[in-house]
Amino acid sequence: MSQLSGPEEERLRRAMTMIGDEAATDTPRSQSPHSRWTRPGILVAACIAAVAVIATALYASDGSDPDQEASQALNGPETVACANRIFEGTIRTIDPTDRRSRVRMTVAVSRWYKPTDQSKRIATFVAFSTRAADVVRAYAPGQHVFIVEYDPPWTPVYADRAISISRSEVVPYLKQGAHTKCPDFWLHPDRHDVPDDS
């Protein structure tokens, strides 16, 4: 940084003194009608510009980049397209498996969402739970659950308040999901660099 000349340094000192004096006063200066409208106008213009930049960035992002695609989650129709079975019912049995984070669960099915023509009333699967470290205690026989079953070992089990939330994120997309292709990043995760969750 270059040195300030004598007159520049003096102007800077005067400016800093004026700023300090103004900050020390208790009484606000009266504003002209013009300045009262200018500040909110500038703020509104800045907000509109920020929204426009964000909207442009979102619109320009088409999701065709494999690295971007690998980090995406499934949307509603894609969830339906990628799921093998979607159903809800009541847990009958829970048995431990050789892995601590998984259990073999048997559910008395009360409603099939996918496939819709399913006549089986009992479904058995291996479930993975993010609800608790001890999966056997995370769920209980007699508990009502909503299941979205993907290829093993990923079968999320939604219980309690999560049922209505999960159902609302999946069920409205059943028809659209029947005509949606499961994304490549989901079918072939080994082909993409997926960031780990740690």
For 107-145, what is each residue's pLDDT tens digit?
999 999 998 877 888 888 887 654 545 444 578 899 999
Question: Are 110 and 177 in a shared domain?
Answer: yes
Question: Are 53 and 86 in a shared domain?
Answer: no
* Rounded average pLDDT over 86-93: 92
Bond prior to 189 in cis (omega within 30° of 0) = no
Question: Are 139 and 168 in a shared domain?
Answer: yes
Residue 56 to residue 193: CA distance in whole angstroms: 26
Question: Are 99 and 176 in a shared domain?
Answer: yes
Q: Order of strands across the sheet with 122-128?
A: 122-128, 102-114, 85-96, 144-149, 157-159
* Rounded average pLDDT over 168-173: 92
Residue 119: inside a domain, yes or no? Answer: yes
42-46, 48-52, 115-119, 130-134 — most confident range: 115-119
Residue 195 to residue 197: CA distance in whole angstroms: 7
Of the given ranges (44-48, 52-56, 125-129, 175-179), which has the lowest mean pLDDT? 52-56
What is the reported pTM? 0.57
Question: Are 39 and 135 in a shared domain?
Answer: no
Q: pLDDT digit string (tens) for 18-36?
A: 666 666 666 555 555 555 5
Number of domains in the chain: 2
Domain of residue 37, residue span: 33-62
Provide CB contacts within 8 A for 149, sequence distance 6+: 83, 84, 85, 86, 87, 125, 155
Question: Are 102 and 173 in a shared domain?
Answer: yes
Question: Are 88 and 165 in a shared domain?
Answer: yes
151 pLDDT above the threshold of 80:
no
Name beta bridge partners: 146.
88, 158
Residue 183: inside a domain, yes or no? Answer: yes
- Using alpha carbons, select from 169, 147, 156 the residue that is nearest to residue 78: 169
- Using alpha carbons, select from 160, 167, 123, 120 the residue that is nearest to residue 140: 160
Question: Are 43 and 92 in a shared domain?
Answer: no
Residue 3: inside a domain, yes or no? Answer: no
Distances (CA, A) of 65 to 62, 68, 157, 167: 8, 5, 31, 30
**What pLDDT band is residue 69 in, cutting at 50, 70 and 90?**
very low
Question: Are 57 and 86 in a shared domain?
Answer: no
Rounded (10°) CA dihedral 24, 27, 31, 36: 80
